[in-house]
Structure 1
Amino acid sequence: MSPKYSLLAFWHIAMLIFFSINVTFGSEHLSEFIQLSSSLDRGNMPKNIIAASFAGGTNHLVPLLEICKILKDRGYNVTLIAPGNFTAKSVSYSSIPQITVDVLDMGEVYSTFEEDLIKMDHMKTYSAITSYASSVYVKFYNIYKQIAEEVNVDLFFCDYMMNFACFDIAWKLGKPVVGIASMLGYITNLPPYRSDPLMGCHVTMENESFYNRFICIIKPLKFLLNSAPLGEVNSQREKVGVDPSWDFRGRISNILILTDNFYGFEIPMALPPLHQEIGPILPDTFPNLTPTLNSFLETHPRTIYFALGSIMQTTPKNIITILKSFVELIDQNVIDGVIWASVKTNTSRLLSTDDDINISTILNNDHPHIHIVKYAPQFAILSHENTKLFLSHGGASSCHESIYTATPMLVLPMFGDQLGNAEKLEVFGMALRLTPINLEITDVVSKIKKLLNEGSFKKNAERLQFLAKINSKRKYRGADMIEVVMNAAKFEGIEDENGKLRIDNNVLLKEWITPDSRMGFIRGSYLDVYCTIIIILLSLFGGILFSTWKIAKFFFNISRDSSKPKTE
């Protein structure tokens, strides 16, 4: 052995002996450091949670249930109240018991005013949804109240969409409440440069003219005044002894609201501490491809996936237009495959329309390059390398899955957050938009070609993919924050005559409530201070101008007097 390696071996042996002696005889040195412990004692924590949704719907419930599943794994008792029998049929959420409310889910509600949706009459559609929510308010309120008493509820976790009764019952019973939403615009005050296409404006006003920026300050006010019949909601509140509220957002002031969103997919803006982004909220597992779908994708390396969601559908005419576009693109060898998840599309209505593409052949799955399924394992399809494009309605979960898999999108939005989602995806460079009104084959074909041929769309999708993967871990933070609220209630609650804790949601999270909300609009905005400063500056400026004028006048008079001829 060379002297170099002998010396190295000697050094290693010496170090081993030193550490052995240190462990055996020098244990007092180990006390210099202790291990950080992040374990929590949940033994005395309130445990009973009601998760409630007015809308129901398979995809709409997933973000709420993902948080519930984490909380259940941590030892909390979670009960879901929602329309539609969902959790019993779900592999991922079957451990969460559900109480099914016997009312229409949101998909069935939308179908009752399909004509307004087709016409893109957003104001009328929004008003109809609010009216329907008002009509079943008492039913939901009484169910929430009954279940709250049965499970001895400690916290309400409310899906925000039209769920007035959930927030109201929490305030009425003196229980902490946390909300979850997908859209920032409905839960917080947007800055002037932010707007909503639902109200006829753009998601960002950065490049808009003065006229458009001016009009889009007025439009939201007009939209809310004409489309939100809060009087109907308040009349229902009166029936169950709940005080009226004229805030169109509902009773969500001073409570924690979690949003299933992230910057990269959202236009940046400052958020108050009580509004926390924890998206994209995605499950840890998804259904895999069926052998048939896998075989189709393997033999079609340039496939488009087409799905318009499980709630709203476009017109049969638009479906035919899209199918004709696909056939044209296949004939031109731009694409070689289409997978269509028809979901709630009434395919029988398509047979009565223009048949110059032999629609019956497509619907019977006899077309060699177009494969139709009722329900598809969407995430698995988008994850496949041969899926090159996603033609979607632009729902939040579809957008998140497309971003997570870096799949460029062509979006056909119809209502609600779909309009803003489509525009944001276009602003951030991974999608193009279609309009359901007067949809043309040439428009569909040209935009698909652009999305497939220009590499910037895929590059931007990959940029957003990184952000989505990093931020997808935040659902655990969402569960953490609900635990924070429950812990705060444990310390802030006051026992009533029945020994149950009651809290005041106005002050429960006082450490997170910004002081300006307590100071009032004028003091909180510092308008009194700024006005005083302006008055002082104007006074000083006016004084300087006045003094300058007086001095100038004095010297002018002297000069004029000196220039006059002297009289004898």
Structure 2
Amino acid sequence: MISFKLWHIVILAILFINTDRFIKINAEAKNNGFIQRELDFDSSDKPKNIFVGSVIGGVSHLNPVLEISKILKGRGHNVTLVAPGNFTAKSTLYHSIPQIIVGDLPNPHDSLFTKVILNKYTFKDFVGILKFAVKEYTKNFNNYLQAYKEIKADLFFCDCLGNWACFDLAWKLNKPVVGFVNTVTFLHMDLNFLPPFISDPIMDCRVNMENESLYNRFICAIVQRFRVIWHLRNFINAINYERAEVGVSSDINEGLTNTLILVDSFIGFEVSFAWPPLLQETGPILPDIFPNLTSDLKLFLSTHPRVMYISLGTSVYLTPENSVILLQSALELINQNILDGVIWATVLFNESELPSTLTLSTGDVIPTLNLLNNLHPHIYITKFAPQFAILSHENTKVYLGQGGVGSSHESMYTATPMLVLPVAYDQLANAEKLELTGMALKLSKLDLKVDDIKSKVVRLMNEKSFKMNAKRMQVLAKFNSKRKYRGADLIEMMMNLAKCEGVMNEDNELEIDNRALLRHWITPDSRMGFIRGKYLDVFGVAVIISIALFSCLGYVFYKTIKFVFKKWLPRDENMRKSPLKRKNE
């Protein structure tokens, strides 16, 4: 008992000494002319109410937005998602974020999306999707307005794709707004800030035009851009008409050029160019935790050292013919001992459209139901799979995916070489970007062949450059994945700027001018117009002065030469004539 009390006395003495020492150190710092730098802002007006809006919904659009929202919620803010589908209630990662459900998720089997998914995806298809979204504008605007009345939002955080109603409501209510996109590819049609050497496969151009011929660069920089303007004219007129109906008068692009936009991407994956200050790279945005392997998957991966993982996401699907080609390729790769296992996660798999048997090149016949029911010892098919855990496993050697942004980020983060089968949307551009990194090869859904898949899987597994480049991209992905906190910081910065520059209206709500809130972030050239902003007038004057100067110098040189010839030519002729005269004499 005595020793127990003695230990208590010793611990209290140590705590007293350390506390006293800490006080003395701080006192000495102040006495020596130092003060502590404050890191936090005045938070007396917390919590702020943040409105998170998306009309697309789904994992690829909501997960990164909600990951930033989760950080903001952890800092004491109230965050509410307004989106279609009951997303957060079913999510294990974001169930703490309340959601106001506005409609159902888009059906990928609707005729519009079926055409896009099964056929070649072009710019005209993209415009068709935009026109479809215009029809939903008024409904989305009214849904958002009703949600705002419930939330009393201090800031709007809007997914950019097709979500003009979210931005318009923020501008109409004079509330600060921050945009979000998965990749700069989505901004190609909305903002004309991308340099001419960056383009898009949906316009039959390369993502990076650096090594293209003069003809291709002219077509993509001039001709295709005029085509974009021509095809978008009806859409822009239609969306501006709908906006005017709800009281938003400014042009749609005018508002976006004054808006801070967070991009779920990073240099190294994106083609490098000088990003404007209002465009902030915050990707790759990934959760800190992921679902672990199930016992069945853990057993399968541990007993198969060379596994290919196949997943085409939840929003696209293949034709029955292409699904058969993938199954056939998997069986051939296993039969030829290139792989010894395949995991296929497929949500949109129509089993009734598949043939009853598959015949290998060796003549072996495999019943399709055996594959679908996981009776084949080397193939595991499931509706859902813990993708990140599978890619993180050392026995996963190749990932065959559609090239969505989230899947691409996970592949880079885990350094898994990728075989990309892009189907639609931004996947075509992502496939090219992944191929440019040197860690991936791509396939074509319009020309999918068993031999092509086999040869590319062999290359990905045997050529060391793919794994080396995958590890290089892993370094970039891991370091840049910390920037989701910067995304949250930027949103808090916006709210603090609004507090500094906003004014209270008659309803005691803070209002700001979105055109002026980030005026110091807007580059001067955007306000100077095309000619003055590009300094074409200055360069034009410089060219004129140079031409005039060179013309004057040329004229002086011409006169000098002419004078010399006139002065010295007669003397030379006299000198030649004088010896002849003496000879004749």
Is 1:425–1:431's contact at 8 Å kept on the other side of the alignment? yes
SS at match of 1:49: strand
Q: Percent identity?
A: 52
* 2:199 paired residue among 195, 200, 205: 195
For residue 40 of structure 2, what is the amino acid of its counterpart?
Answer: S
Q: CA–CA distance in 1 between the matches of 2:123 and 2:357?
A: 30
Gaps of 5+ in 2: 1-16, 360-364, 578-585
Q: CA–CA distance in 2 between the matches of 1:241 and 1:186?
A: 26
For residue 448 of structure 1, what is the amino acid of its counterpart?
Answer: V
Is 2:243 the partner of 1:243?
A: no
Instruction: Give me the CA root mean square deviation.
Output: 2.4
Shift of 1:34: 4.0
Q: CA–CA distance in 1 between the matches of 2:210 and 2:183?
A: 20
Is 2:382 the partner of 1:373?
A: yes
Q: CA–CA distance in 2 between the matches of 1:512 and 1:414?
A: 37
Q: CA–CA distance in 2 between the matches of 1:511 and 1:26?
A: 38
Shift of 1:407: 0.5
For residue 520 of structure 2, what is the amino acid of its counterpart?
Answer: E
Is 1:282–1:472's contact at 8 Å kept on the other side of the alignment? yes
Is 2:413–2:474's contact at 8 Å kept on the other side of the alignment? yes
After TM superposition, list the pairs within 5 Å mapping 1:220-259 onto structure 2: 220-226=225-231, 229-243=235-249, 245=251, 247=253, 251-259=255-263
SS at match of 2:255: coil
Is 1:198–1:419's contact at 8 Å kept on the other side of the alignment? yes
1:198-220 C-alpha deviation (Å, 9 max, x unpaired): 22111111211111111111224
Aligned to 1:101: 102
Shift of 1:557: 2.5
Shift of 1:45: 5.0
Q: CA–CA distance in 2 between the matches of 1:52 and 1:517?
A: 28
After TM superposition, list the pairs within 5 Å mapping 1:460-471 onto structure 2: 460-471=469-480
Is 1:117–1:125's contact at 8 Å kept on the other side of the alignment? no
Is 2:186 the partner of 1:182?
A: no
1:519-560 C-alpha deviation (Å, 9 max, x unpaired): 222222222221111111111111000111112222222334
Structure 2 vs 1, CA of residues 366 and 515 (structure 1 numbering), >3 Å: closer, same or farther? same
Is 2:116 the partner of 1:116?
A: yes
Please identify, of 170-179 and 231-240, the stretch whose mean Cα deviation from structure 2 is larger. 231-240
For residue 97 of structure 2, what is the amino acid of its counterpart?
Answer: I
Aligned to 2:523: 514
1:62-97 C-alpha deviation (Å, 9 max, x unpaired): 000001011111111111011110001112111111
Structure 2 vs 1, CA of residues 528 and 353 (structure 1 numbering), >3 Å: closer, same or farther? farther
* 1:433 paired residue among 442, 448, 454: 442
1:109-145 C-alpha deviation (Å, 9 max, x unpaired): 6x64313332213233212211221011001101111
Q: CA–CA distance in 1 between the matches of 2:53 and 2:178?
A: 11
Please identify, of 37-46 and 376-385, the stretch whose mean Cα deviation from structure 2 is larger. 37-46
* 2:319 paired residue among 299, 315, 320: 315
Aligned to 1:165: 165
Aligned to 1:338: 342
Please identify, of 93-102 and 21-30, the stretch whose mean Cα deviation from structure 2 is larger. 21-30
For residue 221 of structure 1, what is the amino acid of its counterpart?
Answer: F
Aligned to 2:3: none
SS at match of 2:344: strand
Structure 2 vs 1, CA of residues 298 and 531 (structure 1 numbering), >3 Å: closer, same or farther? same
SS at match of 2:211: coil
Q: CA–CA distance in 2 between the matches of 1:466 and 1:29?
A: 39
Q: CA–CA distance in 1 between the matches of 2:102 and 2:109?
A: 14
Q: CA–CA distance in 2 between the matches of 1:259 and 1:340?
A: 30
Is 1:157–1:179's contact at 8 Å kept on the other side of the alignment? yes
SS at match of 2:441: strand
Q: CA–CA distance in 1 between the matches of 2:101 and 2:394?
A: 39
Is 2:40 the partner of 1:39?
A: yes
Structure 2 vs 1, CA of residues 305 and 498 (structure 1 numbering), >3 Å: closer, same or farther? same
Aligned to 1:398: 407
Please identify, of 317-326 and 355-364, the stretch whose mean Cα deviation from structure 2 is larger. 355-364
Q: How many residues align?
A: 545
For residue 517 of structure 1, what is the amino acid of its counterpart?
Answer: S
1:431-450 C-alpha deviation (Å, 9 max, x unpaired): 00000002111101100011
Q: CA–CA distance in 1 between the matches of 2:107 and 2:205?
A: 25
Aligned to 1:539: 548
Q: CA–CA distance in 2 between the matches of 1:374 and 1:52?
A: 29
Please identify, of 346-355 and 154-163, the stretch whose mean Cα deviation from structure 2 is larger. 346-355
SS at match of 1:156: strand
Shift of 1:26: 12
After TM superposition, list the pairs within 5 Å mapping 1:145-164 onto structure 2: 145-164=145-164
TM superposition score normalised by structure 2: 0.89
Q: CA–CA distance in 2 between the matches of 1:121 and 1:172?
A: 35
Aligned to 1:7: none
Aligned to 1:416: 425
SS at match of 1:310: coil
Shift of 1:194: 1.3
1:21-65 C-alpha deviation (Å, 9 max, x unpaired): 999899657632444442333222570110000110123210000
Structure 2 vs 1, CA of residues 543 and 369 (structure 1 numbering), >3 Å: closer, same or farther? same
Q: CA–CA distance in 2 between the matches of 1:485 and 1:153?
A: 13
Q: CA–CA distance in 2 between the matches of 1:561 and 1:329?
A: 92
Q: CA–CA distance in 1 between the matches of 2:417 and 2:252?
A: 41
Structure 2 vs 1, CA of residues 23 and 132 (structure 1 numbering), >3 Å: closer, same or farther? closer
Gaps of 5+ in 1: 1-16
